[in-house]
């Protein structure tokens, strides 16, 4: 529930094509590409265990208490139902690691095989590089402005996956019908995220003092942290797309 009440959106019946993106990883032997696949809850549930894996990864990130505002209180459980409603409420883009030895591909190039072919029998832990949701940030007359929430499993961090997901968001956001994007809470101590959005020409629309009561990275307690509000208007897709 947002400050404006429930933001209802129609379920997608048209899915955007899967694409390939160049992954500039410094890890020896790392894949050169990711493929990104447009999903909803219904299509993701066709792959047993996929949504459960993303749910657990997201719940662990909430428990870490450093990037998202949601809080799991002692004795509480972040249920699948709560996760489904929040993360899979609209569109989700899921990134699959390519294979070692694949030739680097141009960003946004069409990936003609399907999600199952991209995974190719690997476990979710091995194959899922990350994901992000895209949904309206506001209802009704302002629903042309979207919000996105990014998630990279800890085992996939340090590969440059976050940068690829961010670049792909600039591709998929306008193709999902949005004119612009707002990130409401990018905590100022999340240096990697701040630098990433700055590099992609997002504007700092404002700074919210003491926006989050976050866990300290060293485990010594909690602290209040300011947050940036980032905004960017999307480039329009070419007429041929």
What is the per-residue pLDDT across 137-180, written as a single tens digit (0 to 9) for each?
999 999 999 999 999 999 999 889 999 999 999 999 999 999 99
Domain topology for 19-179: Aminopeptidase (3.40.630)
DSSP three-state, residue 181:
strand
Confidence of residue 2 (pLDDT cuts 50, 70, 90): low
Pairing label, strands 180-187, 145-151: parallel
> 82 exposed, middle or buried (CB, 10 Å; 0-12, 13-18, 19+)?
middle
How is residue 22 written in tokens? 């160049």
7-51 pLDDT tens trace: 766 566 689 999 999 998 767 777 899 999 999 999 999 999 999
The secondary element (H helix, E strand) that includes residue 53 is: helix 50-64
Distance between CA atoms of residues 94 and 131, nearest Å: 4
Whole-number average pLDDT of the chain: 92
Token output for 204: 């700092």
Please, which residues bridge with residue 110 across strands? 19
Token pair 């390519």 is found at: 98
């Amino acid at each position: 529930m947002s400050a404006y009440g429930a933001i209802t959106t129609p379920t997608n019946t048209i899915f955007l094509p899967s694409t390939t993106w160049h992954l500039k990883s410094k890890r020896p032997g790392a894949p050169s590409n990711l493929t990104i696949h447009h999903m909803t809850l219904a299509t993701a549930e066709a792959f047993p265990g996929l949504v459960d894996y993303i749910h657990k990864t997201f719940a662990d990130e909430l428990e870490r208490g450093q990037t998202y505002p949601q809080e799991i209180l002692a004795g509480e459980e972040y249920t699948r139902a709560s996760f489904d409603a929040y993360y899979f409420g609209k569109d989700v883009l899921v990134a699959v690691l390519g294979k070692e030895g694949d030739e680097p591909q141009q960003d946004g190039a069409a990936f003609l095989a399907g999600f199952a072919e991209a995974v190719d029998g690997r476990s979710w832990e091995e194959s899922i590089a990350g994901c992000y949701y895209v949904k309206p940030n506001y209802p009704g007359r302002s629903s042309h402005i979207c919000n996105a929430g990014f998630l990279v499993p800890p085992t996939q961090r340090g590969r440059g996956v976050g940068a690829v997901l961010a670049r792909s968001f600039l591709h998929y956001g306008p193709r999902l019908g949005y004119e612009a994007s707002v990130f409401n809470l990018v905590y100022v101590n999340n240096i990697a995220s701040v630098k990433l959005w700055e590099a992609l020409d997002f504007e700092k629309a404002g700074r919210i003092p003491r926006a989050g009561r976050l866990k300290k990275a060293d485990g010594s307690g909690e602290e209040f942290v300011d947050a940036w509000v980032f905004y960017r208007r999307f480039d329009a897709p070419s007429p041929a797309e």
